[in-house]
Structure 1
């Protein structure tokens, strides 16, 4: 939208990419600083409080009067900043916004049902996955038919000297797993104050850099990454996500005053997966988003081992609850997970040139 105004105002600074990235980040950040206190009061007035799992850590019952559904404001600030500062003729922008809103609606239904029926189950699991799957498949179909390039059937492999691997139509299935899997992984990680949002910010920051490099054919060749025309516009959207995440963290850091709820975690995870697909860096997402992968694997291992041997590998899953049950203080777990996440993001960025 700002690009359109620039045609009439003739201010080159407005269209300068780094400035748009900074303005996008700051706009979404300050939206949170200004609106969130009022939003918290609104949620408290209508008793939209977090529903605590009965079989979760006992300490979490102290958080039962903390408002949830803060993800609504996350989505709002991201979409508003994106509309203001991005070139809206870029279809990649709309792909990410659509998953952000679509998965946000699914998460909102889930949160609403939890609050209405005072039950942590919310939307039934089969319906949740069905809706997420249908939306992901539809989006992948649209992406495939609107971005025709040679990388649609090639998987870029970090740390591998040949760098790409031809997988043909299996790529579509992998894309589906990336979107749905990342969305659920972020959702599983969102169990402690600020635990999910900071690793998410680190990971999306890594993809911000990749989106800038991918838009230049020389840089993409040098770094052995896919050349994606006009991918730099994604950097502005990513900046809006970073700013929104930081603004949310201002109120979500320990002790949290608000939670994002499924409306936030599902939408953010889905948008991260979509950005990875658009940049053709699905496997790099596994490295940079390793915290989310570890959390998901801990749940899978816990379920499988219990079904097979009737034993638990962790005191409680996801793994952050395991450390809670071991008596480690919540802030300590959170900060250490942040550190590990940052290290994995740096490893992921290093892998771009290693091969």
Structure 2
């Protein structure tokens, strides 16, 4: 019953705050810049961004207000690790979003300082995982436990940076990433429940609640975007949860939509750079479906359905 209340609390606070944030951002006249090279979304010009700052902040603050977080050192360190991962990547995304607004351009944070910031965040998360005594291993189907040794440091960096950028690329349509994130964090809430990781269960239910509260204003036609603030944070959080649950490979199934989105960009870039030909009408791949004439609602429902099937499959495979 308590987790239901935690979910409702996260949803209610976010849903109440969002109209005020939207109003404030519109008054500031600093609004999202629509990509020139993307599909024709100019009708969305003037929509405020930085919505991710609301649901990330609410999730972290509410989590640290719960007695469950302080039941023991493991619970506290788990919530702290997730909060640092999500919060630090949200901060990087916020800098990116603010720079875009100030420059009135669709590029904000330069590549090198952005990557350096992500690396620093990954290092801090590594120390927290060490404090939680998370072993430097990954469990592979059929193969079993693989000890990574010093390569574990490289793996953590790759996992956090890779997944944060994968969710960032997926955030291109109203409601798309928000819905997929609810499904993914829901899957890990179930896996955390079976692993008796009550701190993670609570954290996920609160975060899911805040995402639902945000989606009320982000579904087509969106009144606010989450921006890089939210998209980078969500991927980093999923990466850390897969590590804490000792099921990193599960994220390749739960987050397969994010992987496909990322691969479509890599393939498109490689093909165009070397052969001057496009494999897809547009990348990331959700924009290709727009080119095929699909509405944003149709794409959202199709991608959410695939994400839900994959999440259920992963839960059954790993637990």
TM bucket, shorter chain: over 0.9
Contact 1:200/1:289 (8 A) holds in 2: no
Structure 2 residue 194 is the aligned partner of structure 1 residue 213: yes
Alignment match, 1:43: 25
Query: Shift of residue 167 of structure 1?
Result: 2.8
The unaligned stretches of length 5 or more in structure 2 are none
* Structure 2 equivalent of residue 148 of structure 1: 133
**Equivalent residue for 1:318, pick from 281, 284, 296:** 284
The alpha carbon displacement at 1:162 in A equals 5.2
- Is the contact made by 2:247 and 2:318 (CA closer than 8 Å) also made in structure 1? no
| 1:180 to partner: Cα distance | 1.0
Equivalents in 1 of 2:39, 2:191: separation in Å? 38
The 5 Å alignment of 1:59-208 reads 60-85=41-66, 86-88=68-70, 89=73, 90-144=76-130, 146-149=131-134, 152-157=135-140, 160-161=141-142, 163-208=144-189
Per the TM alignment, residue 119 of structure 1 is displaced from its structure 2 partner at its CA by: 0.5
The structure with the larger Rg is 1
Q: Of residues 31, 38, 50 in structure 1, which corresponds to 2:13? A: 31
Corresponding residue of 1:218: none
- Aligned partner of 2:257 in structure 1 is 291
1:343 aligns with 2:309: yes
* TM superposition shift of 1:165: 2.6
Cα offset for 1:163?
3.6
Shift in alpha-carbon separation, 1:162–1:124, aligned structure 2, 3 A = closer
Cα deviations by residue, 1:161-208 (Å, 9 ceiling, x for unpaired)? 454333333232222221111111111101000000111110111111
Q: Within 2, Cα distance between the matches of 1:297 and 1:33? A: 34
Show structure 1 runs of 5+ residues with no match: 1-18, 216-230
Deviates more, 1:127-136 or 1:165-174: 165-174
Contact 1:183 1:268 in 2 (8 A): yes
8 Å contact kept, 1:132–1:180:
yes
CA deviation profile, 1:28-72 (whole Å, cap 9, x unmatched): 1001221111111111000131111111101x1110111110011
- More displaced stretch, 88-97 vs 185-194: 88-97
In structure 2, the residue matched to 1:54 is 36
- Mapped to 1, the partners of 2:42 and 2:119 lie a distance apart of 32
What is the RMSD computed on CA atoms of the aligned residues?
1.4
Which aligned runs of 4 or more in structure 1 are off by greater than 6 angstroms?
Answer: none
Which residue of 2 is the match for residue 220 of structure 1?
Answer: none
8 A contact 1:193–1:253 mirrored in 2: yes
How many residue pairs are counted as aligned between the two chains? 314
| SS in structure 1 at match of 2:64 | helix
Q: Could you tell me how far apart the structure 2 residues matched to 1:200 and 1:115 are?
A: 25
Work out the CA distance in 1 between the residues paired with 2:113 and 2:156.
20
Deviation at 1:126?
1.9
Secondary structure of the equivalent of 1:164?
A: strand
Shift of residue 248, structure 1, vs aligned partner? 0.6
